[in-house]
Amino acid sequence: MTNIPVTTWSLEQTAPTDLLPAAAPDGDVRVVRCEVPSPEFSRFLYASVGGDVRWIDRLGWPYARWEEHLARPGVETWVAYDRGTPAGYVELEPQDDGVVEIVYFGLLPAFRGRRIGGHLLSHGAARAWDLAGRWPGLPETKRVWLHTCSLDGEHAMANYQRRGFKLFDTKVEEKAEVSAPGPWPGAQYRSTAPAQPS
């Protein structure tokens, strides 16, 4: 197996005022919290959003591990819907001392390039800042952070920086090269966006 260099960048916001929200996209785009933990839906989002950018860490998780993870206090999944169809998601996870990580964020390939990502990231970061208000017992958020890497989408870093995230760490590691798994074996992504109503 071949190793390749992978650069990982970590970015943060240290105050709610750091967030620079994106304009809402045109059309019927809504962001909704998944209030009922669903391993099936969460795995669908993970595999479908990350399938072409080599998200593989959770593909082997059994149902019980998904269930356990999603049941942790403060773990939230927020989904962007375009005219009722899931377009992407953001997953929040509280950590120690008022830190919240945006663990996963992204769009299904057919919905990229339509200004949904900036809107979804803005919403996700705002919900990270007010997470404690929905979860009694969690401390107030003092810091929101995330990481991206050189295997992610080409516009990821720019989107994070436009939303007010600041770089605080960079690491380069050799990692085993893996092929993009797609949302399921043999799946091929379409190269065009879905047809828009006239």
Per residue of the chain (198 residues), give pLDDT as tens. 788 898 999 999 999 999 999 999 999 999 999 999 999 999 999 999 998 888 888 999 999 999 999 999 999 999 999 999 999 999 999 999 999 999 999 999 999 989 999 999 999 999 999 999 999 999 999 999 999 988 887 888 999 999 999 999 999 998 887 776 777 665 555 544 444 443
Q: How far apart are CA 106 and CA 77, in angstroms?
A: 12
Reported as type and span, the H/E element at residue 45 is helix 39-50
pLDDT of amino acid 88: 97
Domain ranges for the chain, please list them. 3-20+29-176
CATH of 3-20+29-176, one of 3.40.50.150, 3.40.630.30, 3.60.20.10, 3.30.43.10: 3.40.630.30
Residue 195: per-residue pLDDT: 45
The pLDDT score that the predictor gives to residue 192 is 45
DSSP class of residue 195? Answer: P
Is the Cβ–Cβ distance between 108 and 187 less than 8 Å? no
